């Protein structure tokens, strides 16, 4: 029991004792002298004489404190109230002692209304305990539908009031109530609107008359990790207003963003598409407004392999619309929306943060092949958007894969490896494999890709110079996993010591693109 409840029981017990005493003592009804022994009214008698005695009991009135002034009448109702308070307080203390000694969970016997009242005033730990008790009652069939609805509405209130700071365990109370039809449709919509909220995002700065990316992201309240319930929500729009003028969002017409709320995998967004719009030709700020149609359905937990985009006619679904806006600015002609970084400090940090030590060509038993360049990053100092290119010893070059890297993509490990690859095509082997057929070493060049950077939302600046790795060895792996390595040094560098290879694996950062 909380300390405040224990103090309340003690106060009730003390108040009951005091009230009972006041009721038994009563109130004074006159100021007549009375015999203290038998309470006989001595009015009109000579009580000052030394031989005065009480005519009722014969007691000597000359003794000290033999006479009492005034008569009192007991207040029965006050005494009864004192007894009630005492019994409540003392009974509560007795129950508390038994609960503590025997380890009884008092929540098992607490009415739902009182539990919900405690949840409204308690912290997250207390709320989680109360929710666990409500779930136990639901699983045991001891939670009436009316109490289940009352608990679900309490959870919805917490969700609307606290948002992402709510107690996630409420999800396991509200979601089964919604699926069982305990909640009304408007109540279920209140819950779904507060649980996951889509919004429009785009670049804050774009070039005039250029295309700009437009996408939908979700803000979702946390859910329990072990929850068996799953939800799928989809937001889509097919019309966008730029400063009040309707604009089609590209040839596909519809942009969808699907998200999944799952206890096993957490809340996440998936299948988020990006559409490109033409921006105003004149420079200045403008506003994008879109009406998003949101659809929410329950995903059967027994069928976890169903595609996130699959919507069955048997699923319970809810639909509603919200309006979302995003502000952007069209830049004057000649000003770019992506800034190029070329300072010496960042250049030095890049030399230490990127490593390319091989180009790997794999061939399987079906004679299909892939060419892969593992790129290792360790605490990159800035965003990098580039197109990789391979340069042979004869100076011929071939464009390879592209990559967008942001430091936030690496996470807490601070080190990550990204694979640039080209697999075989139906018509034959990868072009990169043919390109490297006679090469044992190759230069790998990362060239800034401004066009791609301009289409990445929330990307304001990138590294603006080429990153070159000289004499990267080309390793070939057959279907049995046997690798063939080139000679220790490139043919043109036979006279150099092996230690120079390590120097050649350090990237060169050259002139800006």
What does the pLDDT average to over 290-305? 68
pLDDT in tens, 388-414: 899 988 888 888 888 888 887 776 556
Q: Helix 171-179 and helix 185-195: axis angle, to 10°?
A: 140
Q: Which residue has the higher pLDDT, 426 or 447?
A: 447
Above pLDDT 90, what percent of the chain?
19
Instruction: Quote the mean pLDDT of the chain.
Output: 80
Beta strand pairing status for 461-463 and 354-355?
A: unpaired
pTM of the model: 0.64
- Contact in structure between 85 and 93 (CB atoms under 8 Å): no
DSSP assignments along 306-329, one per residue: S-TT---TTS-EEEEEEEEEEEEE
Confidence label for 156 from pLDDT (cuts 50, 70 and 90) = very high
pLDDT in tens, 113-142: 999 999 998 888 999 999 999 999 999 999
The residue extents of the domains of the chain are 3-106, 107-183, 194-331, 339-512
Nearest of 332, 355, 317 to residue 280 by alpha carbon: 332
Q: Residue 254 in 3-state DSSP? A: coil
Question: CA 436, CA 377: separation in Å to the nearest integer?
Answer: 25
Question: CA 507, CA 446: separation in Å to the nearest integer?
Answer: 10
Q: What architecture is domain 194-331? A: Sandwich (2.60)
- pLDDT at position 435: 81
- Contact in structure between 229 and 301 (CB atoms under 8 Å): yes
pLDDT in tens, 229-260: 777 788 887 678 888 887 765 444 445 566 66
- pLDDT at position 135: 93
Does 305 score more than 50 pLDDT?
no
Place of tokens 């082997």: 429
- Contact in structure between 283 and 332 (CB atoms under 8 Å): yes
- pLDDT at position 461: 92
What does the pLDDT average to over 224-232? 74
- Contact in structure between 233 and 196 (CB atoms under 8 Å): yes
Does 429 score more than 80 pLDDT?
no
């Amino acid at each position: 029991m909380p300390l405040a409840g224990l103090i309340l029981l003690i106060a009730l017990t003390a108040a009951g004792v005091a009230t009972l005493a006041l009721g038994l003592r009563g109130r004074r009804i006159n100021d007549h002298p009375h015999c203290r022994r038998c309470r006989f009214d001595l009015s009109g008698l000579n009580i000052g004489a030394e031989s005065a005695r009480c005519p009722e009991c014969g007691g000597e009135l000359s003794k000290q404190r033999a006479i009492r002034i005034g008569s009192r009448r007991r207040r029965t109702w006050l005494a009864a109230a004192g007894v009630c308070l005492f019994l409540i307080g003392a009974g509560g203390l007795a129950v508390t002692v038994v609960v503590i000694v025997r380890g009884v969970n008092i929540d098992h016997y607490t009415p739902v209304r009182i539990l919900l009242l405690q949840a409204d005033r308690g912290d997250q730990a207390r709320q989680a305990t109360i929710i666990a008790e409500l779930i136990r009652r639901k699983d045991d069939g001891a939670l009436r539908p009316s109490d289940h609805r009352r608990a679900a509405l309490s959870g919805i209130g917490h969700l609307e009031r606290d948002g992402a700071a709510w107690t996630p365990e409420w999800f396991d109370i509200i979601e089964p109530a919604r699926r069982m039809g305990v909640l009304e449709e408007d109540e279920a919509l209140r819950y779904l609107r507060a649980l996951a909220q889509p919004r429009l995002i785009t670049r804050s700065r774009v070039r005039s008359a250029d295309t700009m990316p437009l996408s939908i992201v979700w803000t979702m309240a946390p859910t329990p990790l072990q929850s068996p319930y799953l939800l799928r929500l989809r937001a889509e729009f097919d019309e966008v207003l730029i400063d009040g003028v309707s604009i089609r969002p590209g040839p596909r017409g519809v942009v969808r963003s699907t998200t999944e709320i799952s206890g096993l995998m957490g809340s996440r967004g998936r299948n988020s598409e990006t559409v490109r719009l033409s921006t105003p030709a004149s420079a200045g700020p403008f506003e994008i407004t879109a009406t998003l149609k949101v659809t929410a359905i329950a995903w059967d937990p027994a069928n976890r392999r169903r595609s996130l985009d699959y919507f069955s006619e048997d699923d319970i679904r809810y639909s509603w619309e919200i309006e979302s806006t995003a502000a952007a600015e069209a830049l004057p002609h000649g000003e770019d929306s992506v800034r190029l970084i070329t300072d010496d400090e960042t250049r030095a940090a890049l030399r230490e943060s990127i490593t390319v030590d091989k180009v790997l060509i794999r061939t399987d038993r079906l004679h299909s092949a892939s060419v892969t360049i593992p790129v290792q990053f360790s605490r990159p100092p800035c965003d990098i958007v580039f197109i990789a290119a391979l340069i042979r010893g004869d100076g011929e070059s071939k464009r390879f894969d592209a990559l967008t890297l942001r430091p936030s993509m690496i996470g807490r490990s601070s080190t990550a490896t990204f694979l640039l690859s080209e697999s075989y095509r139906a018509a034959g082997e990868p072009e990169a494999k043919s390109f490297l057929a006679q090469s044992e070493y190759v230069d790998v060049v990362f060239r800034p890709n401004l066009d791609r950077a301009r289409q990445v939302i929330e990307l304001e600046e990138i590294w603006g110079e080429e990153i070159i790795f000289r004499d990267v060895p080309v390793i070939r792996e057959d279907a049995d996993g046997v690798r063939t390595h080139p000679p220790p040094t490139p043919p043109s560098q036979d006279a150099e010591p092996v230690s120079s290879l390590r120097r050649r694996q350090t990237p060169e950062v050259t002139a800006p693109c």
